Structure formats: structure tokens, C-alpha cells
Amino acid sequence: MLPAFPKNFPVPIVIVQHMPPLFTSLLSERLNRKSKITIREGEPGHVLEPGEACIAPGAFHMTVARLGSSVRLVMNQEPPEHYCRPAVDVLFRSVDRVYGGNVLAVVLTGMGSDGVRGAQHIRERGGHVFVQDEASSVVWGMPGMVAKAGQADDIVPLDIMAYEIVRRVKKSRSLTSTEMGQCGTGT
């Protein structure tokens, strides 16, 4: 999916993959070679930039924190959630705190219920949640649990997920610019 994102994707992407150390590094290197956007394994203090994706390193929860005018990655080894470290609920809560309603969260194939509570936080603040559909999922555990909990705005097949993400982000960015222009604050 990530190779389909355009080089000028206007927002940063943060990713949790339930994988052990080394595997997340190899995954990020492989995806970076195949993608137009920059993909890297997250590192503490890294400043998030548009057009890049950071994958949580295995054995670490990854969160985001606003420091001055930038948003940076923070890592910790607090206890696992849902038997996972990294856990997407941990990341989603931090993304919600930093970005509020300006979030599009995506839950793809995976086992368990990680993502349900984080998706709820995001939606309560006005953000949106996409989940992968059952037919294209290897395991519809995580996306299915989010959908069954009523926390999915859209259920999307994997083959069009990147298109839908790019479309939604571009639409959101143009609405934000239009709204700002109407308020007289400029863009």
C-alpha cells in the first residue's frame, strides 16, 4: 500500500506493526526502496515531516509529542497493551492528543483488539478511522473489532486503501485551506 502514496503526500504517517526488533528495521528498509515517500524505522526525537512514514521499532511503544512548533517521536518500553509492544492503541492515543480531530487512522489486517480504544479516542475528537475489509484481510481481528465496536467510519478493501487515504487527506487539506481563507487568516 505505501508504494502507492505520492512523493508529495502532505502529512506524516506513523505506523505500528506487531513485529519484533530487527524485523521492523528490515521492513522499513524494504518499503523505503519501493516507495516514493521516505519510510524509516522511528527513532526517539525524530521530527515528523510530510511525505514520510515512520514505523515503530519492535519492542518499543512509539508515541508522538509536540515540542515547540514540531512534532517528534517518543519511544518507551512501558508494559505491553493487548500483549503487544508496540501497540497501536498507545500510538493512537498520542496522535489524538497532538492532532485532535485532524487525524485519519487506519487499521489493517491483524489479530486481536489492539486499535479499538485508540480509534474511539480519535473519533470522539472528530478524527476519522478506516478499517480494512474482511475479504482482503488475512485476519480480520483488529479491523473487525474496530468495525464491530462502531468505531470505523469506512470499511475499505486493501486494493483501494491507498487511493482512499490520499483522497481523504487531500480533501481534508483543501477544506482546511478553504476554511482558513474564509476566516481571513490566510493559508
Q: Where are the domains of the chain?
A: 2-174
Q: How far is Cα 90 from Cα 61, in angstroms, rounded to an integer?
A: 7
Mean pLDDT of all residues in 140-152: 98
Residue type, 159: D
Superfamily classification of domain 2-174: Methylesterase CheB, C-terminal domain (3.40.50.180)
What are φ and ψ of residue 47, in 5° steps?
Answer: -85, 125
Three-state DSSP state, 13? strand
Provide the pLDDT for residue 117. Answer: 97
This prediction's pTM: 0.91
Q: How far is CA 32 from CA 3, 4, 11, in A?
A: 8, 12, 17
Mean pLDDT of all residues in 127-144: 97
Rg value, the chain, Cα: 16
Provide the pLDDT for residue 175. Answer: 61
Provide the pLDDT for residue 181. Answer: 33
Three-state DSSP state, 118? helix
Which sign, positive or negative, has the C-alpha torsion 90, 16, 96, 137? negative
Compute, in degrees rounded to 10, the torsion defined by CA atoms 140, 142, 143, 149: 120
- The C-alpha cell at 11 is 502529512
pLDDT in tens, 28-65: 999 999 999 999 999 999 999 999 999 999 999 999 99
Q: How far is Cα 47 from Cα 1, in angstroms, rounded to an integer?
A: 23
pLDDT in tens, 149-177: 999 999 999 999 999 999 999 988 876 54
Provide the pLDDT for residue 176. Answer: 53
Mean pLDDT of all residues in 93-122: 96
